[in-house]
Amino acid sequence: MNKFRIIWLIQVIGTVVLLAVSCWQLTKNAAQDHNELVDNQQLALNQLLKNFQDEDSKLLVQQIRAMANPQLLQVRQTGGHMVHEHNNATSLKSTAEQIQDIFGFERRFGQLSAPALGLEIRFKPNFDEQDQVFVSQLMTLLLIGLLLALLPALLLPVLNRLQHRTISQLVSENLDLISRQNGETYRDVELPEDYEAITLALHRFAEFAQKQQSELNRTAEQLTEDAFKDSVTGLPNRNRFVQYYEEHLRKASHVDFGVFAIVRCSELQNINQSRGYQEGDRYITQVADMVQKIASGFRDSRVYRLNSSDFGVLLPRISPKDGESFGSQVQSRFNEYQKLSELDSIGHTGLVTYEAGKPLGELLAIADTAISLAQTRQTNAFFLHKDDGSLDQTAAGYGNQNWRAVIDDVLSNDRISLLTQPIQPSNRSAKTYSEILVRFHTAEGQLLPTASLLAMAEKLDRIIAVDRAIIEHALTTIKNRNLYDHYFGINLSSRCVHDDQFMIWLERRLLKDASLANRLVFEISEYGLQQNLKTSKRFIDMLHRAGSRITVEKFGTGITSFKFFRDLKPDFIKMDGSYTRHIDEDKNNQYFMRLMVDLAHRIGVAVFAESVETQEEKHMLESLFVDGTQGYYIGKPQPL
């Protein structure tokens, strides 16, 4: 745009100069024409004077006016007396004369002398027609010059629109180019120098767009990675496993085979509840490290975290014998870790051979059955199922049958051992007890996974028999060791609470040992009590009649109202571990705990906190007036 203004200014100056030169030339020509006319008329009048014989000056004036028709005519005698004078000019000087004066061309008068007549004549020719032509030409010239000067200004809006349209198109094309480059290097846009600011803005926008695109790409990659990555172990998760299986092993056209293993961390739930989620994460991480190190010895192996407690391991192109070698290495490493971690077990491994084309659901079901079979053997055991295509529903039944046999063996031979974990009172007036924890053994003395056995007992409808065996074993142990001066807590499943036959049996058993019954506290989960409020109240009333007490554990996970607890009248509530972990840092849990303690104390219920792992947590809970605390910081489980 600046360049256009400069060109227009040059054009205006040039037009003015050209106009001035043209006017000067036109004026010069007009002056020359005037002078020629004066000379011609002067010659004609000289001839008239030579031929004029009369002395009448008036007749001479008439002949002069008839011949030349001058605009100005003065006739004087030689002595100076004016004989005749007339002037037809409407003004002192015409416009043409004034213009010619400006350019330095002054019109001269004609001078004649007639000595014979004693006269002097001065005249000015009539130049009106020539002046009109001169003025018309001059005005035409000025108008042309004005048009030449104004034409660019008149065309400027049109040119601006055209240029803006061109620039807009260029900018649009460059923005499209920037949007299509997807992070590639941006090529400079070619715009006029007047649009340098737009060019710089486009460059800055291109750099910003490239930066944003790179950031979006990194974010998308991170989100994709997070969607297929376990946050605790850093391993690919179940989504990645399913994706890989569908892409590489689902189609029968893919020629592939090998062994698939599921490693189940059987103690995760127990660790989370008793030691806290941080310890649970540490346990999972260490198991993941061990499994990865062992799997790295097998070519092209892949390890995934399928869910909170299960790891999936693909061992392609190996024989069943090599699969057993993998299971044996895992068991050996788990046994070493178990000694250091003071856990009842670490995990069990189920292995199954596979070929490409097998449905994923079927493969997982077989591996899960193999884990069930491994759990019936010994601590940290593994089991390899060689898939011959005839499994169908038989394998699941076979796993259940093994578990049923194991549970029956435990019950018939009383393969039960008991541990206790104390609840420490927060003040001298608080009444607490030690919770009894149960462990199960095989005929060879190996520990069975407690959580798995209880889950299978629930599934196989043997949980009531298991609870009865635990109670009998606990009462017998307390009597044999003369522990009447201690209080003990025994966990009951929700099935027992709502079973009439179990209720009758338990009441009779407690009445049989009345002196021992008042030393027992039965722990039942909040969820278990909520399943049937009527039978729950009847069960609690029975315990109170027998002299025993009741604790509602896992409190805070349900939506039970305090009206419900006022009607049931439990003796204790044990807050769920999710409210006690890091309570020294969590203001919300502190407020909730204070509220629960205050309301519970108002209806005469004592409040315990479990999963206490640090001194800070203990001090905070005591400041909230909790009646007792339990956890690994307070005391680890010890044999009864």
Cβ atoms of residues 576 and 597 within 8 Å:
no
Distance (Å, whole) CA 470 – CA 454: 12
Q: Cβ neighbours of residue 304 under 8 Å, at least 6 residues apart?
A: 235, 236, 237, 238, 240, 241, 311, 312, 313, 314
In order of 286, 327, 372, the CA distances from 241 in angstroms are: 21, 20, 22
Do 13 and 52 fall within a single domain?
A: yes
Do 358 and 210 fall within a single domain?
A: no
Distance (Å, whole) CA 273 – CA 276: 6
End-to-end CA distance of the chain: 97
**E-state strands within 295-341:** 302-305, 310-316
pLDDT, tens only, 267-277: 888 888 777 78
Distance (Å, whole) CA 60 – CA 328: 155
Q: Could you tell me the residue range of the domain that residue 580 belongs to?
A: 414-639
Tokens of 283: 């346990």
Residue 392: predicted pLDDT: 42
Is the backbone of residue 6 left (phi > 0), alpha (psi -120 to 50) or beta?
alpha
Do 252 and 377 fall within a single domain?
A: yes
Angle value at C-alpha 296, between 293 and 302, nearest 5 degrees: 110
**Bridge partners (DSSP) listed for residue 552:** 524, 573
Confidence (pTM): 0.54
Do 446 and 376 fall within a single domain?
A: no
Angle value at C-alpha 158, between 193 and 201, nearest 5 degrees: 30
Q: Answer yes or no: is 207 within a domain.
A: yes
Order of strands, edge to edge, in the sheet holding 72-77?
82-87, 72-77, 119-124, 110-114
User: Tokens 């290097």 belong to which residue?
Assistant: 185
Q: Answer yes or no: is 177 within a domain.
A: no
In order of 293, 296, 335, 337, the CA distances from 290 in angstroms are: 5, 10, 12, 9
Phi first, then psi: give them for residue 380, nearest 5 degrees. Answer: 60, 25
Do 114 and 248 fall within a single domain?
A: no
Do 468 and 602 fall within a single domain?
A: yes
Do 600 and 485 fall within a single domain?
A: yes
Distance (Å, whole) CA 264 – CA 77: 148
* CATH classification of the domain holding 332: 3.30.70.270
Residue 359: predicted pLDDT: 84
Q: Answer yes or no: is 145 within a domain.
A: no
Rg of the chain on CA atoms, in Å: 58
Residue 395: predicted pLDDT: 44
Q: Answer yes or no: is 592 within a domain.
A: yes
* DSSP structural state of residue 627: S
Longest dimension (CA), the chain: 186
Q: Answer yes or no: is 90 within a domain.
A: yes
User: Tokens 């002395």 belong to which residue?
Assistant: 55
Do 356 and 485 fall within a single domain?
A: no
Tokens of 280: 């649970």
Do 21 and 86 fall within a single domain?
A: yes
Domain count, the chain: 4
Residue 452: predicted pLDDT: 75
Q: Answer yes or no: is 459 within a domain.
A: yes
Residue 193: predicted pLDDT: 67
Other beta carbons within 10 angstroms of residue 366's beta carbon come to 23
Cβ atoms of residues 611 and 273 within 8 Å:
yes
Do 329 and 189 fall within a single domain?
A: no
Do 444 and 492 fall within a single domain?
A: yes
pLDDT, tens only, 555-590: 887 656 666 777 788 999 999 888 888 899 999 999
The list of the chain residues with pLDDT below 50 reads: 183, 389-396, 398
Q: Cβ neighbours of residue 181 under 8 Å, at least 6 residues apart?
A: 210
Residue 201: predicted pLDDT: 76
Tokens of 12: 């205006």
Residue 396: predicted pLDDT: 47
**E-state strands within 391-485:** 416-422, 424-425, 434-441, 447-448
- The 3 state secondary structure assigned to 232-291 is CCCCEEHHHHHHHHHHHCCCCCCCCEEEEEEEECCCHHHHHHHCCHHHHHHHHHHHHHHH
Q: What are the helix and strand counts (H, E) for the chain? A: 22, 20
Residue 578: predicted pLDDT: 83
Do 458 and 561 fall within a single domain?
A: yes
Residue 489: predicted pLDDT: 96
Q: Answer yes or no: is 548 within a domain.
A: yes
Q: Cβ neighbours of residue 135 under 8 Å, at least 6 residues apart?
A: 95, 96, 99
Q: Answer yes or no: is 398 within a domain.
A: no
